[in-house]
Structure 1
Amino acid sequence: MIGGYQPAQKWLKDRKGRALGFDDVKHYRAIIKILLETSQIMGTISMTLDASTI
């Protein structure tokens, strides 16, 4: 989840009932990688904000 939004699930849901090709799977993997990186960055920002309030 990114801010209450589930982009990976939405992407899959939008393609429900159709077979995913190689390019689709490649794109989905890229989405997952970006989401993981975004989550890590958000965690770093949160830690920085928490540390600055001390």
Structure 2
Amino acid sequence: MEKVRYDEATQRVYINKAQYFEGISKEVWEYRIGAYQVMEKYLKDRRGRKLSLDEIDRYMKVAKAIHLTLELQAKIGDVY
């Protein structure tokens, strides 16, 4: 894996010139826990090597979990 780059127009997270994760919204990409931008940090911690299938699967599960978290936060916000 090389340089991590997010393309908002296509909702893609590029891990090199040809490979990317698709369907990552800007809100999911920018989601933070404390000082960490979760989606970016996961990939940056693995820079310089090939991602395993398990790591790829885990990355997509984290993206889904963040998406669901954002939906729940919006619903809670609607109540208050």
The normalised TM-score by structure 1 is 0.78
Q: Compare CA radii of gyration and give the structure with the larger one.
A: 1
The structure whose residues are more often helix, as a share, is 1
Q: CA RMSD in A?
A: 1.5
| Unmatched 5+ stretches in structure 2 | 1-30
Q: By how many angstroms is 1:2 displaced?
A: 3.8
Q: How does 1:1-54 map to 2 (within 5 A)?
A: 1-2=31-32, 5-49=36-80
RCO comparison, higher one (Cα < 8 Å, 6+): 1
| Unmatched 5+ stretches in structure 1 | 50-54
Q: Among the aligned pairs, what percent are the same residue? A: 33
**Number of residue pairs matched by the alignment:** 49
| Poorly superposed stretches of 4+, deviation over 2 Å | 2-5
The normalised TM-score by structure 2 is 0.55
